[in-house]
Amino acid sequence: MPESGETRLIQGRYRLLDLIGRGGMGEVWRARDESLGRRVAVKCLKPMGPQHDQSFTRVLRERFRREARVAAALQHRGVTVVHDFGEHDGGLYLVMELLEGKNLSQLLEDNKQHPLPVADIVEIAGQVSAALAYTHEQGIIHRDLKPANIMRLTDGTVKICDFGIARLGHDIGFTARLTGTGIAMGTPHYMSPEQIGGDHVDRRSDLYSFGCVLYEIATGAPPFDLEDAWAVLVGHRDTVPEPPRTHRAELPGFLDRIILDLLAKEPDERPRDARELARRIDDGRSPSGYVPTVTATPLRQAVVEPQQPVSREPRLPSWTRGMTTGHKAAGPPVLRGTPPDAGAGLAGEWIARPESRRSEQPVRTERPTPAPEVVAHLAARHNAGLSLGRLGRWEEAGEVHRAVAAEREHALGPDHPDTLASRYEVAFTLSRTGRPADALREYRRVTEGCERVHGPEHPETLGARQEMAYVLGQLGRHFDAHQVYTSVLATRERAMGPDHPDTLRCRHNLAYNLSRLGRLEDSYRMACEVASARARVLGASHPDTLVTRCEVAYALGQLGRWTEALRTYREVAQAREQALGPDHPDTLAARYEVGISLGRLGRSAVALALYRDLIDDRTRVSGTAHPETLRARHGLGVNLGRMGRWEEALAEARDVCAIRARVLGADHPDSLVSRREVAVGLGWLGRWADALVEYRRVAAAREQVLGADHPDTLASRNDEAHCLEQLGRGTEAVELYRRVAALRRQGASGGH
């Protein structure tokens, strides 16, 4: 077919513009339908040279015509639309809708072969199963399902592409005759055992291939990832695959079971059909498929001058005053310092709550009462530490809180409320500086102390337990956190009622936690419920209500519903601007999320303009080195890369990385994210040796802070291995990939 598309017309109608894909059967061109004025994709059969005999050429032509007739008959949102087909100048062509997006293979490549987010996997599984159910009911078997043949569009729609060797279900022997072998056509990493054996193939063969696809996007590699094609085929035929969760413990149990059932060697042991598969996926995402979970909230209120206007909503309950938003996905929690009741023991002796296994009588401390000026001095230093935290200077804040905690313990005792308050802040700064394991140990001390002093159901105790669960999540131990959150939420609902702000805060965070478990629809539903409850209790314009509306938008994004997410974020930004003012941090945060949504919708040029304005406003309000200013600059750099402006993207990433390292510390999670972005830019510019240096620095820092088997550390090691491959150092890359796989298995065996 054509060497240049500038002037080439197919049948006087389809003008070929540029080549966008090439495969074993032919080429795909971006083209313009001159009759209808629309952009289309034109697939052209690869020219047959003189080395091919006429009978072989006839078979290929017949296969192409069959593909066209079959594909043109399909009408489903999950299948590529075929507009036209025919023959021109001795070559065959197929005219299809032009898809804007990336196939799953490209998504994995863009992600450096890291697995896709759980949310995306579940959504892809649901959409593809629906499309397969439709095509199978038309009597059509795809026979070549693989990541490259499944496309995710920019609006989140997932489509099966290229029915290149699909054919009517009753015509089984065609492909074997075409190849002249006993093995049907297909791709070795995704072929079913019956395909490999040349046996009868039906729709359950497609289900097996789809199981291989899901395994790869869930773990980063297909189930039998071997270099030798024959070894791969033997693996499909004889070897039971390792459960996906041995490679990635965070995968939901229902998804792990579905993938393993799809990969059953015997067709009768797989799901009966794609309809059954779709039902199982929907059941897995429904509330009955899970045990409820809760996510963390902060221990105390912040001693910060409120920046929120007084709510204009009438007759709010008295306990709603001064409530704060707590942890959420898009931003840090609000802290509070020592409770301002002097009767808590700041002057004089205090009484600790007895432990159950000790005497039933309260125990009076023997510790001397410290001088009032000492107590006041420690309180002032404590608040100074809080101020440093609000400025994002977490390392300095941590040093202050550790010193104050030690002095308070000496002066007041280890279980004094003020000592516990300082210990809590020490833990919080540890979690903010990328040291979740150390934070977990500190939160456990605080929780045990609060239980002794206040009792297990006191708000301070519950707050400490929630923070302990939050860092469990930071450590990737989401199922451990799951149990803690569930218990805390049940206690809050019993002690405070379902509409108390602290209870609603638990449920708000639960909505986010559900998304981490892959329960996207549940996450969205709960966020909507909490938003409605907060609007009823606090008012539609209350900051907490708007925070939950942001969570609704976040869930919509996780579901791939980015257009709705964009609309919701914009509504929140407008409401915050009216209620809080244009320069309030929450207003600016909503604008940042608008930029994220625009980028995910492929509107990078619009996102770029938004981020430039946001950077100007953040700089004016908070300064050039504020973490949120740097976050906006990071978003700017990402979108520069999406637009192919890699030199500019690299310069931006380097500048942001240098400032973050200076302000937050070189090993802070945000600094490491920026350093990885530097490496990505270097890779895109072909500077793989320099990229390898940066990837290794990120991996080493994450290993030191998080541990060798933490998911982020393993992701960085995979980055390093990919870079080694690009440098032609395949042996080292394979060894590193194996080490990563072993650590994943080790981590999975030690978890759930």
Strand order in the sheet with 91-97: 9-10, 14-22, 26-33, 38-45, 91-97, 82-88
User: What's the burial of 647, exposed, middle or buried (CB within 10 Å: 0-12/13-18/19+)?
Assistant: exposed
Q: What's at 296, amino acid-wise?
A: A
Query: Which two structure tokens, joined as six digits, stand for 363?
Result: 């125990």
Q: How far apart are CA 48 and CA 704, in angstroms?
A: 57
Strand order in the sheet with 101-103: 101-103, 150-153, 158-160
- 3 state SS of 165: coil
Q: Report residue 653 CA to chain centroid gap.
A: 21
Query: Which two structure tokens, joined as six digits, stand for 721?
Result: 């291995």
**Residue 522 backbone zone (phi > 0: left; psi -120 to 50: alpha; other: beta):** alpha
Query: For residue 566, which of 581, 576, 577, 554 has the smallest C-alpha distance?
Result: 554
Q: How far apart are CA 163 and CA 141, in angstroms?
A: 9
Angle at 433 between CA 714 and CA 580, to 5 degrees: 115
Query: Which two structure tokens, joined as six digits, stand for 209?
Result: 């291939």
Q: How far apart are CA 241 and CA 230, in angstroms?
A: 16
- 442: CB partners within 8 A, 6+ apart: 423, 426, 427, 430
Phi, psi torsion values for 15, nearest 5 degrees: -90, 120
| Contact call for residues 259 and 215 (beta carbons, < 8 A) | yes
Q: How far apart are CA 95 and CA 428, in angstroms?
A: 58
Query: For residue 100, which of 142, 161, 143 has the smallest C-alpha distance?
Result: 161
Query: For residue 436, which of 384, 473, 396 has the smallest C-alpha distance?
Result: 473
> Which of 120, 144, 206, 719 is labelled catalytic?
144
* Dihedral sign of CA atoms 576, 578, 584, 589 in order: positive
**Is 43 among the annotated ligand-binding positions?**
yes
The residue with tokens 């959150």 is 485
**Cα 540 to Cα 228, 329, 527, 552, distances in angstroms:** 61, 21, 14, 14
Q: What's at 727, amino acid-wise?
A: L
Q: Report residue 344 CA to chain centroid gap.
A: 43
DSSP result, 185-248: SS-GGG--HHHHTT----HHHHHHHHHHHHHHHHHSS-SS--SSHHHHHHHHHH-PPPPGGGT-
Q: Counting every residue, how long is the chain? A: 752
DSSP result, 7-20: S-EETTTEEEEEEE
Q: How far apart are CA 123 and CA 104, in angstroms?
A: 13
Residue 415 a catalytic site member: no
User: Helix, strand, coil shares of the chain as percentages rounded to 5?
Assistant: 60, 10, 35
For the CA atoms of 341, 343, 344, 346, the dihedral, rounded to the nearest 10 degrees, stands at 100
User: Which residues define the annotated binding site for ATP?
Assistant: 43
User: Which residues define the annotated binding site?
Assistant: 43
Catalytic residues: 144
